[in-house]
A and B are shown apart, each in its own frame.
Chain A
Amino acid sequence: MRRRLPGAVLGVLWILPALVLITSLILYPVAYAIWLSFFDKHSFFPAERWVGLGNYARIAGDAEFWDSLWKGVVYAGASTGLQLVLGLAAALVLHQAFRGRTAIRALVLFPYMIPTIVAVIVWRWLLNETYGVVDDVLLRLRLVREPVVWLGVDHMMASLIAVSVWQFTPFVVVSLLARLQTIPLELGEAARVDGASAWARFRHVTLPQLRAVLFVVVLLRSIWMFTKFDTVWLWGEGAGAGREIRTLPIYAYMRTFTYYQAGFGAALAVIMFLMLMAATLVYFRLFWGEEDAA
């Protein structure tokens, strides 16, 4: 007769694959990075020297760190804010019934679906001040008197924010559109019968219904933009002006792979992690309520 495994053992076995994955892919790298941050370690030599909080003390006095932090905040703040405003506007438009809506909904997703490297190469080409289409159009329309140097020191951050907004707004659109489609039509109709204006209906009916989704979207997009590496790196890659967009993830990468200071780089990564944790906690404390959980 075959013996059946006890329920508890069976339960552990069921979750074991997930536990192994989470431990090896998330917990171990995080723990390793924290451990590494207490050492002076070269990037490709096994030898390491315990420095305790030495790397953190150096970071506190490192002007490059503060500069990168500021640039990261500007980039994440501006790009997330614009994604929200434009994403919400686009979602409201796409929620309306009009001819060709399905095709446009599919089209709106396009920037989010193409690989980052393709998006960056295409946009760098379009924005090139010598032969790019964007400046050419602006000049022909006499909107500018001379080409705008989008990829130079003065506009590097602005152009990066614009491209990031183009690339990531579809995520906001899709998230909000999905929620908009589940809001009972009767709510809006009732408000309309009561004489509420379009703005009032949006302000007092639609927006409260979107609150929970907006909460998650703001949280995720802020974290993702603050830790964004690929778009930022590729945008500044190969250009001296790239330092205008040297955000914290880029600086951590540089410390690890071009200064060869793996311990210092790990400490920067840990600081980023702690800052995001703290910001998330504050965000939950300020904006998350019982009604959201419901």
Chain B
Amino acid sequence: MIGRRTLAAALSALVLVLSVALAEAADKKVIRLWQTETEPQTLAVLNQMAAEYEKTHPDVSVKIEGLAWGDLERKLTAALAAGAPPDAAHGQPITCVSFAAKGLLRPVDDLADSIPKDNLVDAFRNLCQWNGKTYGVGHSPASSVFVYRKDLLAQKGLKVPRTWDELVQVAEALKEVRDGQVVRWGLTMTGQPLFINIAVGELLRTNGGRLFDAEGRPTLTEKPVLELLDFYKKLGRVLPPGWTGHSYLDTFANLANDKAAMLYQAYGRGVGYIEKYAAKDIADPDHFAVADKVVGPSGRTPAAQLDCEPWMVFKDAKGGPEAVDFLKFFFQDENYVPYLHSVPIHLLSIKKSTSRNPRYADNAMIRKWRPWVDMQEKYFRNDWIKPVLVTDWEDMKKPYLLEVMGSGILVDMVLDSVKGVPSAEAAARAQKRVEELLASSGYLKK
């Protein structure tokens, strides 16, 4: 049996150890960062970066948490409602503007100024500005891309589609039926609400359309929107019947596993899935090729979604200055390059100097999938990319796009249309709901 003295000694030792640990912890300032790159290798790089930072900053402890992209806004909202936001977090550009307008963020001009303006890729200089101040600096930009199976198109003598109508025709022609069963669909798209919001903004821009007028009033009953809804009806006939339930990753799986021949909303991350799941002899950009996004009947230029979450620092965060200091450390090439290499074709550099850095270019995946990187850079150069729901950069001055996205009204509009509601009726219904939302939130006069 354990004697009283032994027990007392053990308890004393435990108390002592706990006291020392607590005292040490109390001395350290903990900074919490929420970010959306959840792949294990990226988290490993970030944790390694945090450990390196802590070596030179023994009074700071950096805690990095990975959050699923689709959960980010909800979790941030819940944390803000509870009065316990992290010190810094990724956010959609429209989330950043919305939070900045509500006074929830600390300006990060000090972080932005640490990267010379002429060193930032031009398209991302003003990613999150409010009242002349910078509230967000993108961690790395990417663009959505249109991917098609080059070999399958060639086999059927088809040309790469350039317009909405051609996309539908090619998708129909690529559909493969065996024993009465569809074994390969011509096209795959996700039905995830966030991505439907993204697609609505993106497709509308390819059709010369907009979501809001200069006064901020929704413009959902305009011709380009109605044409967009008609296009969705046509897409509904060539997409897999369950597309409205398909997640973003399901569509990558469809493409990589030969269940679909084209993917409209692909991202550089997709090459990881192709490398992993597609047959080895076709897992290359000669088979999985990228092309310009298709253009609508009333549009002239392609358009894509800018996938570039800015780092935001919360105003009430206790570790705001330390978070900014850590983020400056993050953007140093010796840390930034391994981060970008953790998802090579998806995480591109926001700094021109890093893109030119031989260390950055020295990556087998980047060399192999260069056409995918070039296509994204082409979109950046031509300013064809915009954040979700932004059809014109002026829209970034509208602080309510986050609420419009969260309400799911645009998703409902698309689904109404796909289910057979006449486009004009679906658009009018959505128009009324957005007006009601903006009026009740004080953004629009009734």
Are B77 and A43 in contact, CB atoms less than 8 angstroms apart? yes
Contact indicator per residue, chain A 229-252, by CB within 8 Å of chain B (1) or not (0)? 000000000111111000000000
* The one of A240, A257, A261 that contacts B78, using a Cβ cutoff of 8 Å: A257
Chain B residue nearest in CB terms to A152: B242
Asked whether A261 and B440 contact (CB < 8 A) given A152-B242, A239-B192, A240-B191, the answer is yes
Q: How far is the CA of A130 from the CA of B254 in the complex (A)?
A: 9
Contact indicator per residue, chain B 53-89, by CB within 8 Å of chain A (1) or not (0)? 0000000000000000010011001101100000000
* The one of A152, A242, A258 that contacts B407, using a Cβ cutoff of 8 Å: A258
Q: How far is the CB of A160 from chain B (nearest CB, A)?
A: 12
- Given contacts A150-B242, A257-B78, list 12 more A-B pairs with CB under 8 A: A44-B80, A146-B181, A147-B242, A152-B243, A153-B244, A156-B245, A240-B415, A243-B411, A257-B81, A258-B406, A260-B406, A262-B81
Residues of A within 8 A of B70 (CB): 238
Residues of A within 8 A of B441 (CB): 259-261
Q: How far is the CA of A239 from the CA of B408 in the complex (A)?
A: 11
Dominant SS among interface residues on chain A? loop
Residues of A within 8 A of B240 (CB): 129-130
Dominant SS among interface residues on chain B? helix
Q: Is A145 an interface residue (CB 8 A)?
A: yes
Are B437 and A153 in contact, CB atoms less than 8 angstroms apart? no
Those 6 A-B pairs whose CB atoms lie nearest each other, nearest first = A258-B406, A151-B245, A149-B242, A240-B191, A44-B80, A241-B244
Are B242 and A129 in contact, CB atoms less than 8 angstroms apart? yes
Q: Is B157 an interface residue (CB 8 A)?
A: no
By a beta-carbon cutoff of 8 Å, the part of chain A in contact with chain B is 40, 43-45, 58, 64, 128-130, 139, 145-147, 149-153, 156, 238-243, 254, 257-262, 264
Asked whether A240 and B192 contact (CB < 8 A) given A129-B241, A258-B408, the answer is yes
Q: How far is the CA of A45 from the CA of B83 in the complex (A)?
A: 9
Residues of B within 8 A of A238 (CB): 70, 192-193, 247
Are A149 and B245 in contact, CB atoms less than 8 angstroms apart? yes
Q: Is B259 an interface residue (CB 8 A)?
A: yes
Residues of A within 8 A of B406 (CB): 254, 257-260
A-B interface pairs (CB < 8 A), number: 101
Q: Is B225 an interface residue (CB 8 A)?
A: no
* The one of B81, B242, B254, B408 that contacts A43, using a Cβ cutoff of 8 Å: B81
Q: How far is the CA of A88 from the CA of B162 in the complex (A)?
A: 60
Residues of B within 8 A of A130 (CB): 240, 242, 250, 254, 259
Number of interface residues of B (CB under 8 A): 41
Chain A residue nearest in CB terms to B76: A44
Q: How far is the CA of A64 from the CA of B81 in the complex (A)?
A: 25
Q: How far is the CB of A182 from chain B (nearest CB, A)?
A: 45
Q: How far is the CB of A50 from chain B (nearest CB, A)?
A: 15
Are B77 and A260 in contact, CB atoms less than 8 angstroms apart? yes
A-B contact pairs, 18 of them (CB 8 A): A44-B81, A129-B240, A129-B242, A130-B240, A130-B250, A146-B180, A149-B242, A152-B241, A152-B245, A238-B70, A239-B192, A239-B246, A257-B74, A258-B406, A259-B406, A259-B437, A260-B406, A264-B440
Interface residues of B in 246-260 (CB under 8 A from A): 246-247, 250, 254, 259
Chain A residue nearest in CB terms to B79: A44
Residues of A within 8 A of B133 (CB): none
Interface residues of B in 109-159 (CB under 8 A from A): none
Residues of B within 8 A of A240 (CB): 191-193, 196, 244-245, 411, 414-415
Residues of A within 8 A of B104 (CB): 44
Q: How far is the CA of A262 from the CA of B182 in the complex (A)?
A: 46
Q: Is B418 an interface residue (CB 8 A)?
A: yes
Are B74 and A258 in contact, CB atoms less than 8 angstroms apart? yes
Q: How far is the CA of A264 from the CA of B403 in the complex (A)?
A: 14
Q: How far is the CA of A151 from the CA of B243 in the complex (A)?
A: 9
Interface residues of B in 177-225 (CB under 8 A from A): 180-182, 191-193, 196
Q: How far is the CA of A153 from the CA of B416 in the complex (A)?
A: 10
